[in-house]
Chains A and B, each alone.
Chain A
Amino acid sequence: MTIGGWITMTVSLAFVWVGTFWCFKKVLSAPGEEKAPPGFGP
């Protein structure tokens, strides 16, 4: 494995892992979803 290989692998893995964690963190911390008012639905 060359230095170039280490760099591209590390940068790519960091990009996808950090990106995915950031997205899921935002999703899970976003305000609650709208709920149907009482009396609606089955």
Chain B
Amino acid sequence: MSSEHKEQWGSRLGVILAVAGSAVGLGNFLRFPGQAAANGGGAFLIPYFCALLLLGIPIGWAEWAMGRYGGKKGFHSAPAIMGLFAKGSMGRYLGVVGVLIPLAVSFYYIFLETWTFGYFLKYLTGGIGVPQGVPIAEQTAAAASFYNSFTGASQDGLLFTGDSKFTIISWVIVFAVNLYFVFRGLSKGIEKFCSYAMPAMAVCALIVLVRVLTLGTPDPAHPDQSVLNGLGYMWNPDYSKLGNAQTWLAAAGQIFFSLSVGFGVIINYASYMKPKDDVALSGLTASATNELFEVGFGGMITLTAAFVFLGLSGTTAAVANGSFSLGFATLPVVFAHMGAFENVVGALWFFMLFLAAITSSLSMYQPAVALMKEALGWSHGKATTLIAALGTVGAVFTLWYTQDGAFWHTVDDWVGTLLIYLMAAVQIIYFGWVFGIDRGWKELHSGAAIQVPPVFKFVMKYVAPAYLIIIFVAFCFQNLGGWITAAWATPGSRVGVLVILATLMFLLVVVKIGETRWRAQGLDIDDTKPAD
């Protein structure tokens, strides 16, 4: 291809940690426990693990195999790779979604990452101002006040026009760190960072977990608010919820978004593997790592800590207020009850969330950078500069339209949620039905370090697409009406829609240019010849 040199991963472990880092994000620690507690506690894990085995892992395997196959043909962008599997232009244009998702999500995700970094800095330097020894209502009000001020949730433009520029300064630092590692490239930047960040995140999580599990019953006046009862809040099973379709939908949705399948990153990352590198065990290991952080840490830490200090009603209210309120407005109240450890645990917690967020955000530019390089024939530096400029424009909208998070909620709903279903459905259908499941199975096992049980061949061809289509239709039925109304309701949401459309149009034009260029170069863009 036209890039100045062929990019590759430095090691098998490196690509696994990079993909796992992309998957492990804020949702593992904040969204998962809330979903589980609201949908049957321990019973939620039954549909959750079913979705993991029948949906998440099989679609992930397909994506890994597709990516590596694309790499064998010299392609690294989702549009080019999807064109191979669809044997035509339709796949290339649908593949644009695999670049749009990570790029558009990066516009707001770095803002969320800024929250974790800003909170971390605050806890390093004395906390966010939640007073100790006062009623919980006062502490909650103080935490909510800081949260609203830091995120600019009360008014558009507040982060630029308000007295404090702390959020903007934090964002600049976070954005610069991201750009530094993306500019350094795949192996020297993303892989190297993830190879340190993932173990560091595990160590932070272990320390916080040990601290939470040793809290005992800190308030003798409330003997029911103990660690055991906190674990019970999360894990006691309510099997009656299994008869509710909503529980199964919530479990499938959680698995789906947590593993980052259909996000456009795995297909891109796998394309940088060597032709005979294993993808079966690598895909499984990346998924397992994500599950360890989600169930093993997220399921043990967040709600247990909240319950011990806030009790049943306080924790239930925190869960009802959503993931971000739980992480950034409720947990600071919990930390305020930890006495001398408040700032240490707070700093560790938000540093851990920052690592979870940055290992995800680092993956979001690479698919777009790859597309610019191979479609326009640009160098890595030039392509990264363009994507950085686009990221800056997107971020400015995110930082300005902060009222109730309308801008980023709109992008998150339409791109970070809906289009992921679409991308995953298109991928698994092309893999199992157009490329052919027999050929796909052979591709998955080329160089494989494990033999995938044959039943998964059936799962990948029939069960996963059917499962995905069912939850996609149900999801649309539940949410689309409200989203359409909300999309045009405020200036922030309207700008969100326009930014999505403008980014989509730009990427479609780039793919059109690339398609013309690839044909002129005589590349096998419709996969008429088998790969080596």
A-to-B contact residues, CB < 8 Å: 1-2, 4-9, 12-13, 15-17, 19-20, 22-24, 26-28, 30-31, 33-34, 42
Contacts and interface: CB of A to CB of B under 8 A. Distances in A.
B185 interface: no
The 8 closest A-B pairs by CB, nearest first: A8-B42, A1-B232, A23-B285, A5-B236, A9-B235, A5-B235, A20-B288, A20-B292
Given A16-B295, A33-B12, A5 B288 contact: no
Q: Interface residue tally of chain B, by bracket?
A: 35 or more
Given A27-B13, A33-B12, 12 more contacts: A1-B228, A1-B235, A2-B237, A5-B236, A13-B296, A15-B295, A16-B291, A16-B294, A22-B288, A23-B281, A24-B285, A26-B450
Interface string B1-32: 00001000001110010000000000000000
B235 A15 contact: no
Contact of B295 (A2, A13, A24, A27): A13
Instruction: Give the residue among A7, A20, A42 with the most B Cβ atoms within 10 A.
Output: A20
A5 B231 contact: yes
A27 B274 contact: no
Given A20-B292, A23-B288, A26-B281, A4 B236 contact: yes
12 contacts: A1-B228, A12-B45, A15-B49, A19-B291, A20-B289, A22-B288, A23-B281, A23-B285, A26-B450, A27-B16, A27-B285, A30-B278
Interface string B248-260: 0000000000000
B187 interface: no
Contact of B231 (A1, A16, A31): A1
Interface of B: 5, 11-13, 16, 41-43, 45, 49, 228-229, 231-232, 234-237, 274, 276-278, 281-282, 284-285, 288-289, 291-292, 294-296, 299-300, 449-450
Contacts of A16: 288, 291-292, 294-296
Nearest to A25: B285
A19 B284 CA distance: 9
Interface of B, helix, strand, loop or mixed by DSSP: helix
Given A9-B42, A20-B292, A24-B285, A2 B232 contact: yes
A24 B282 CA distance: 9
B212 to A, nearest CB: 14
Given A27-B12, A30-B278, A33-B12, A5 B232 contact: yes
A18 B228 CA distance: 23
A24 B286 CA distance: 9
A9 to B, nearest CB: 4
Given A16-B291, A33-B277, A5 B45 contact: no
Contact of B449 (A2, A6, A15, A27): A27
Contact of B41 (A5, A26, A30, A34): A5
A13 B277 CA distance: 30
B311 to A, nearest CB: 16
A33 B11 contact: yes
A12 B299 contact: yes
A8 B233 CA distance: 12
A27 B282 contact: yes
Given A8-B237, A12-B295, A27-B281, A33 B274 contact: yes
Most chain-A CB neighbours within 10 Å: which of B228, B274, B282, B285?
B285
A42 B187 CA distance: 15
Contacts of A30: 12, 278, 281, 449
